[in-house]
Amino acid sequence: MVVATTDYVFRGVSQTYGEPALQGAVNYRDSSGWFAGAWGSNVDPYPFGSTEAEINAYAGFGLSLNPEWTARGTYTRYVYAWKARPKSYDYDEFSMSLAFEDRWIATVSYEPDSARYSTLGYVHDRPAYSYEMAARWPLPERLAISAGVGYYDLTHLYGAGYWSGNAGLDYTHGRFEVQVVRFFSDGTVRRLFGDASADGSWVATAIFRF
Per residue in 90-110, pLDDT (tens digit) is 999 999 999 999 899 999 999
Per residue in 147-172, pLDDT (tens digit) is 999 999 999 999 999 999 999 999 99
Residue 62 has pLDDT above 70, yes or no: yes
**What range defines the domain where residue 31 resides?**
2-208
Arithmetic mean of pLDDT over the chain: 94
Using CA atoms, how far apart are residues 166 and 176, in angstroms rounded to an integer?
21
pLDDT of residue 208: 97
Residue 137 has pLDDT above 90, yes or no: yes
> At 197, is the pLDDT very low, low, confident or very high (cuts 50, 70, 90)?
very high
Using CA atoms, how far apart are residues 179 and 19, in angstroms rounded to an integer?
17
> What is the CATH number for 45?
2.40.160.40
Residue 26 has pLDDT above 90, yes or no: yes
How many CA atoms are closer than 13 Å to the CA of 169, on its beta-carbon side? 6
Number of structural domains found in the chain? 1
